[in-house]
Amino acid sequence: MIISIASGKGGTGKTTVAANLAASLDQAVTVLDCDVEEPNLHLFLHPKIHTRENVVAPIPRVDMEKCTLCKRCMEICRFNAIAVAGKTVVTFPELCHSCGGCSAICPEGAVTEMERVLGIVETGTGPVPDMGFAQGLLDVGQVMVPPVIRKVKSHIDTQGITLIDAPPGTSCPVIAAMKDTDFVILVTEPTPFGLNDLKLAVETVRMMDIPHGLIINRAGMGDDAVYAYAKEQHLPVLLEIPFDRKIAEAYSRGDLIISRSNDLKEKFQTLYHDICRLVDAQRCAP
């Protein structure tokens, strides 16, 4: 079972949900932080890191001794990452999507490839027995997020439970994180901003045809519009995390909120079983 935890915007508490759900499970779990531009799951789980591996992608290198300035590499590149300028060819590695088109089309064999480091992936173990952990960290200045996410996802445990902390929003990195997962938990808050971004997130998950449900964080603040939307759209509300000073204090200290509330601990413990039932029910729906 692979479960993504996502949200239409940052700061709604998806990392809190991922960390507390992972720590509540009474079976082996692998937790992957795919929010590679700002990974912070480690602040709550305090993993022991055992390995670090570079994530690399090929970029072109041009041998001007062979180049005839024919411009075919420039014409094929949809990303404007290579250009003939005067009597030379310039490349823009930060724009390159590593498709290999320029090296394939060059009639002179002038374009070869070299590696560019996009970021790193760290793996380790979590604070409780049988918890595996991996996180990606995008290098400063890099914009190619999906390859780093895919590398983190290579650590999915196909035989057990994997939780994926997805990036916020609804853009390519989120799609890359949620792709091929069995269920998406959408974390939101009962505010107008929360509702607006929730609608975008629901559209995205439905487009991907992944079973999904809601967790409402900071329940009790804001208004009832998120609940009305959930009812209208037949979105199951899996859990409400109350807007509570003790919870906010635990969060700000990097503590798990289940350590502060037995009630919440029990609710997180039943969450996984509720999700299993929903996956079966939504998959079997006509």
Binding site for ligand SF4 (CB under 6 A): 60, 62, 67-73, 76-77, 79, 81-82, 84, 89, 96-102, 106, 108, 110-111
| Of residues 65 and 209, the one with the C-beta less far from ligand SF4 | 65
Residue 84 or 128: which CB sits closer to ligand SF4?
Answer: 84
CB of 133 to ligand SF4, least distance (A): 33
Q: Which is nearer to ligand SF4, 8 or 101 (CB)?
A: 101
Residue closer to ligand SF4, measured from CB, 176 or 271 = 176
Q: Nearest distance from residue 102's CB to ligand SF4, in Å?
A: 3
Q: How far is the CB of 85 from ligand SF4 (least distance, A)?
A: 11
Residue 104 or residue 281: which is nearer to ligand SF4 going by CB?
104
Shortest approach of ligand SF4 to residue 77 CB, angstroms? 3
Print the SS3 string covering the chain: CEEEEECCCCCCCHHHHHHHHHHHCCCCEEEEECCCCCCCCHHHHCCEEEEEEEEEEEEEEECCCCCCCCCHHHHHCCCCCEEEECCEEEECHHHCCCCCHHHHHCCCCCEEEEEEEEEEEEEEECCCCCEEEEEEEECCCCCCHHHHHHHHHCCCCCCCEEEEECCCCCCHHHHHHHCCCCEEEEEECCCHHHHHHHHHHHHHHHHCCCCEEEEEEEECECCCHHHHHHHHCCCCEEEEEECCHHHHHHHHHCCCHHHCCHHHHHHHHHHHHHHHHHHHHHHHCC
CB of 144 to ligand SF4, least distance (A): 10
